[in-house]
Chain A
Amino acid sequence: MSHAIDVSQVMARDNVELSEGAGRGLSSFLIGVGAVGIGATIVAAFSGGPAMAAMAAHAYHTGVMAVIGFSVAAMGFVMILQQTNAGWSATIRRQFENIMSLMWVGGLLFVVDLVFQYLMTGRHVYIWDWMNAAHTAGDQLYEHKKGYLNVPFFAVRCIAYFIIWFILSRMLWDASVSQDSDGDKWRTAWARTVSAPGLLLFAFTSAFASFDWMMTLDYHWFSTMFGVYFFAGSMVSMLSLGALVLITLRAFGRLHGAFTDEHLHDLAKLIFAFTVFWAYISFSQYFLIWYANIPEETAWMLKRKVGPWEWLSWLLPIGHFIVPFLLLLPRPMRRSRKAVALVSLWLIAMHLFDLYWAIRPEAQVEGDPTVLGPNVMDIVAVLGPVLVFVGVLVRKVGSGPLIPLKDPRLPEGLSHKNYV
């Protein structure tokens, strides 16, 4: 009421665009460090023994899953915003579209993952144990799952996921970016039309991808909640990454009036909500397994109660739930850019640890059931792909307008306010 928005000031070029070449140095630096990390991981995998190779491969796999999770969750979020015709987010949507549009980075890193697996086959080191004929020989349970868990069908599924994700993210990206120049309002309607079936495809592909790439690392084990578990964690980390990008842009004097405390407040509410949702889902998964006490289900949890994993596991309920829950609970915290930035950074770290906790204890030396404990080198292997992704993202953010310039819902987004 009293704070009228000066739209021309908000839409001024130096508010909604970064200067030419901004962030190039940072981007190159991050990509460089990430590439060195990936290189070090590969060197470690091929110079050490089979235990080292298995640990390196699983840790790298963790980083790739985090990267794919960023883009896929961002795509889901953009589709939710388009499908619900959300006005409040019109000014911040572009940053999530940027994260979404980097699907190819996840795809590329995943190919490296598969090459990794292929090269290590000769040394009998496997990310996916079910691919190892020596491992599955005479395995009753595998016999029953063979129709689904075989390399040709696995390859078909992987290709299908990526094709669906590439096409969907491309359509959403084009609809939004083409609008910047021609201002055609029907592009908004088109994005909404794409999002309805898109969300359905997103739900199935993200769930099955998490089954194929994470759950079947222990192919005896199964959890119907695993897809939602991956989705919830990826949403937390993706929203946190988006919040960090937006807060950084504000710190560089951009998005005044476009990314306000009101947008920050709502974004922090979503981070808070998905943190609680993640806690609910991951506790439910653990609780049902604990309560039913069926050997083929508990085996997975038991591996995570061996050695250092036992106390590391406690980091999840505390660090991924209680700490961010209490930090984001007071309203002033959710309206403080500094506080949200710190919690976001923490939550991304926690999500990486969550994936690490889900993937890394599956690393084993063939014929030796010992659960390999955590290793300092894993940090390098996990962060390598993530840093490459963030580096590419920095470049992407600087390459175009920071908001959808002619979105018909822009006035609603600019005047967005939380009334208690």
Chain B
Amino acid sequence: MAHDHGSRHGSDSGGPLWGVMAEFHDPAALSRAAEHVKQAGFSKWDVYSPFPVHGMDEAMGLKPSKVTMVMAFMCIAGFASAWLMQWWMGEVDYPIAVAGKPLFAWEQATPILFELSVLFSAFGALFGMLMLNLLPRWNHPLFGKPRFLRVSDDRFVMAIESNDPKFDEGSVRRMFESLGGTHIDRVEEGA
């Protein structure tokens, strides 16, 4: 750890161990490492890169996002509330006959049914995504590592969390080394 630039934060904060991180020098190396870690049976880990790496979902063995389920539910909720709203306003609360049209009809309701379904689905996508990613949060243990900040620029990082049932600091470090990881480092819970 002596080679860390600056010790403004983090590396020796003395907090409990959060996990171990390693750097990889290109997306292909990161993908290969992910493939290996997946096969080794780890479950609490993630990769970080400056741009989306094609094929990474497959390499990591990620299942399709559950956000679509949230969206489907919100879509139905939007459709139902648009139906209820228009029926209640038009036929119950404030009935006014306009141009001989029915007080409520599916024809005139359709644009709003469509719009609210889309609106609710979009909310479902945004807030569902945040929820599933456990966002928003103030900080993340990895932000304590100055080198980690380079993943928004030119570094490819993998981190395995210590609460993974298969986690063992020594063996994880050895695995990272064998996979070609550099700057392998302990990550502590935030100071």
* A contact residues vs B (CB 8 Å cutoff): 1, 283, 286-287, 290-291, 293, 331, 417, 419-420
B5 at the interface (CB under 8 A from A): no
CB pair A291 B55 closer than 8 Å: no
The smallest beta-carbon distance between B121 and chain A, in angstroms, is 12
7 additional A-B pairs beyond A1-B31, A286-B107, A419-B52, beta carbons within 8 Å, are A1-B54, A1-B55, A287-B111, A290-B107, A291-B108, A293-B100, A419-B55
B64 at the interface (CB under 8 A from A): yes
* Residue interface mask B86-114, A partner, CB < 8 A = 1: 00000000000001110000011011000
The smallest beta-carbon distance between A412 and chain B, in angstroms, is 14
Q: A287-B107, A419-B52 are in contact. Are A293 and B57 (CB under 8 A)?
A: no
The smallest beta-carbon distance between B181 and chain A, in angstroms, is 19
Q: Which of B28, B52, B108 interacts with A1 by CB under 8 Å?
A: B28
Contacts of A286 in B (CB 8 A): 107
The smallest beta-carbon distance between A262 and chain B, in angstroms, is 12
CB pair B57 A420 closer than 8 Å: yes
Contacts of B108 in A (CB 8 A): 287, 291
Contacts of B52 in A (CB 8 A): 419
CB pair B54 A417 closer than 8 Å: yes
Bound form: Cα–Cα A1–B32 in Å:
10
CB pair A287 B110 closer than 8 Å: yes
Contacts of A283 in B (CB 8 A): 110
The secondary structure that dominates the A interface is: helix
CB pair B54 A419 closer than 8 Å: yes
The smallest beta-carbon distance between B131 and chain A, in angstroms, is 20
What would be 24 A-B contacts, judged by CB atoms less than 8 Å apart? Answer: A1-B28, A1-B31, A1-B54, A1-B55, A283-B110, A286-B107, A287-B107, A287-B108, A287-B110, A287-B111, A290-B107, A291-B101, A291-B107, A291-B108, A293-B99, A293-B100, A331-B64, A417-B54, A417-B55, A419-B52, A419-B54, A419-B55, A419-B57, A420-B57
Question: Closest 5 interchain pairs by CB?
Answer: A419-B54, A290-B107, A1-B55, A287-B107, A420-B57
The smallest beta-carbon distance between B173 and chain A, in angstroms, is 26
The smallest beta-carbon distance between B184 and chain A, in angstroms, is 24
The smallest beta-carbon distance between B98 and chain A, in angstroms, is 10
The smallest beta-carbon distance between A219 and chain B, in angstroms, is 26
The smallest beta-carbon distance between A16 and chain B, in angstroms, is 27
Contacts of B110 in A (CB 8 A): 283, 287
Contacts of A417 in B (CB 8 A): 54-55
Nearest chain B residue, comparing its CB with the CB of A292: B99
Contacts of B28 in A (CB 8 A): 1
Contacts of B64 in A (CB 8 A): 331
| CB-CB contacts below 8 Å: B32-77 with A | 52, 54-55, 57, 64
Bound form: Cα–Cα A128–B11 in Å:
84
Nearest chain B residue, comparing its CB with the CB of A1: B55
Nearest chain B residue, comparing its CB with the CB of A419: B54
The smallest beta-carbon distance between A41 and chain B, in angstroms, is 36
Bound form: Cα–Cα A419–B52 in Å:
10
Bound form: Cα–Cα A1–B110 in Å:
46
Nearest chain A residue, comparing its CB with the CB of B100: A293
Nearest chain B residue, comparing its CB with the CB of A330: B68
Nearest chain A residue, comparing its CB with the CB of B57: A420
User: Of B31, B55, B101, B108, which is in contact with the most chain A CB atoms at under 10 Å from its CB?
Assistant: B55
The smallest beta-carbon distance between B86 and chain A, in angstroms, is 14
Contacts of A293 in B (CB 8 A): 99-100
Bound form: Cα–Cα A130–B107 in Å:
32
Nearest chain A residue, comparing its CB with the CB of B111: A287
Nearest chain A residue, comparing its CB with the CB of B35: A2
User: Of A287, A331, A420, which is in contact with the most chain B CB atoms at under 10 Å from its CB?
Assistant: A420
Nearest chain B residue, comparing its CB with the CB of A289: B107
Bound form: Cα–Cα A95–B66 in Å:
37
The smallest beta-carbon distance between B96 and chain A, in angstroms, is 16
The smallest beta-carbon distance between B65 and chain A, in angstroms, is 9
Contacts of B54 in A (CB 8 A): 1, 417, 419
The smallest beta-carbon distance between B142 and chain A, in angstroms, is 24
Bound form: Cα–Cα A283–B111 in Å:
10
The smallest beta-carbon distance between A296 and chain B, in angstroms, is 17
The smallest beta-carbon distance between B99 and chain A, in angstroms, is 7
The smallest beta-carbon distance between B161 and chain A, in angstroms, is 24
Contacts of B99 in A (CB 8 A): 293
Bound form: Cα–Cα A287–B107 in Å:
6
Bound form: Cα–Cα A113–B99 in Å:
43
Bound form: Cα–Cα A287–B101 in Å:
13
The smallest beta-carbon distance between B66 and chain A, in angstroms, is 13
| CB-CB contacts below 8 Å: B6-26 with A | none
Contacts of A291 in B (CB 8 A): 101, 107-108
Contacts of A420 in B (CB 8 A): 57
Bound form: Cα–Cα A417–B55 in Å:
9
Contacts of A287 in B (CB 8 A): 107-108, 110-111
Bound form: Cα–Cα A286–B55 in Å:
44
Bound form: Cα–Cα A291–B108 in Å:
8
The smallest beta-carbon distance between A320 and chain B, in angstroms, is 16
Contacts of B101 in A (CB 8 A): 291
Nearest chain A residue, comparing its CB with the CB of B64: A331
Bound form: Cα–Cα A9–B108 in Å:
57
Bound form: Cα–Cα A286–B57 in Å:
44
Contacts of A1 in B (CB 8 A): 28, 31, 54-55
Bound form: Cα–Cα A283–B64 in Å:
33
